[in-house]
């Protein structure tokens, strides 16, 4: 039996979760890695790298790329090999498919210095990223087909409803 109205639960969770996520900077870091490592998207990658189903990327390739990759630069504007561009894309795919676990500690009241009611609370929240398994390069053709299908369905949708009914988005 709940003492609070069940409709209050999503709002209460958001009130606790959002500050923890903002303090952790996990979302900002993931967004930065996703966009910087996947600058070309699948069509551009395949057009510039010559990747196909036979392409294999081993752990050493990931380690070498991670050790040489300047964090704030785009690997697609650098003098990178085709394999490095593929590794960058696969890392971006990993960061797009990961999970975030948040452990929200119970807030502990901090007593005020004058003995009055508590003036603030302290919590020791933890936010972790899990499920960081590397994506295999042999999925590239599958992702390219999926991307083409999405674009095709969107184009068909535009023909049916007209582009004036589509909301525009901007990144930034």
User: Over the stretch 57-72, which tens digit does the pLDDT of each residue have?
Assistant: 888 888 888 888 775 5
Q: For residues 103 and 111, give the distance between their C-alpha atoms in angstroms, rounded to a whole number.
A: 24
For the segment 4-25, the average pLDDT, to the nearest whole number, is: 84
Range scoring the smallest mean pLDDT among 117-121, 127-131, 167-171: 117-121
Residue 171 belongs to a domain: no
Residue 4 belongs to a domain: no
H or E segment to which residue 39 belongs: none
Whole-number pLDDT of residue 94: 94
Q: For residues 13 and 68, give the distance between their C-alpha atoms in angstroms, rounded to a whole number.
A: 40
Residue 83 belongs to a domain: yes
pLDDT at 5 over 80: no
Residue 136 belongs to a domain: yes
Whole-number pLDDT of residue 65: 87
pLDDT at 14 over 70: yes
Q: For residues 168 and 151, give the distance between their C-alpha atoms in angstroms, rounded to a whole number.
A: 15
Write out the residue range of the structural domain in which residue 95 sits. 9-165
Range scoring the smallest mean pLDDT among 15-19, 21-25, 45-49, 161-165: 161-165
**Nearest 5 degrees, angle CA 140-CA 146-CA 149?**
145
Whole-number pLDDT of residue 1: 47
For the segment 150-163, the average pLDDT, to the nearest whole number, is: 86
Residue 122 belongs to a domain: yes
Residue 1 belongs to a domain: no
Whole-number pLDDT of residue 170: 64
Q: Are strands 120-122 and 99-103 parallel, antiparallel or unpaired?
A: unpaired
Q: How many domains does the chain have?
A: 1
């Amino acid at each position: 039996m709940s003492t609070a109205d069940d409709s209050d639960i999503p709002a209460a969770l958001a009130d606790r979760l959002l500050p923890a996520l903002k303090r952790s900077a996990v979302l900002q870091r993931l967004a930065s890695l996703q966009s910087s490592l996947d600058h070309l998207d699948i069509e551009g990658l395949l057009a510039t790298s010559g990747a196909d189903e036979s392409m294999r990327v081993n752990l050493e390739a990931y380690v070498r790329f991670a050790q040489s990759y300047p964090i704030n630069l785009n690997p697609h504007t650098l003098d990178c090999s085709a394999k490095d561009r593929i590794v960058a894309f696969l890392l971006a795919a990993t960061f797009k498919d990961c999970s975030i676990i948040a452990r929200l500690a119970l807030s502990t009241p901090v007593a005020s210095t004058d003995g009055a009611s508590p003036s603030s609370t302290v919590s020791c929240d933890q936010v972790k990223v899990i499920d960081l398994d590397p994506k295999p390069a042999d999925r590239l053709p599958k992702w390219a087909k999926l991307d083409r299908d999405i674009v095709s369905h969107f184009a068909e949708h535009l023909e049916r409803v007209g582009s004036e009914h589509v909301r525009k988005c901007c990144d930034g």
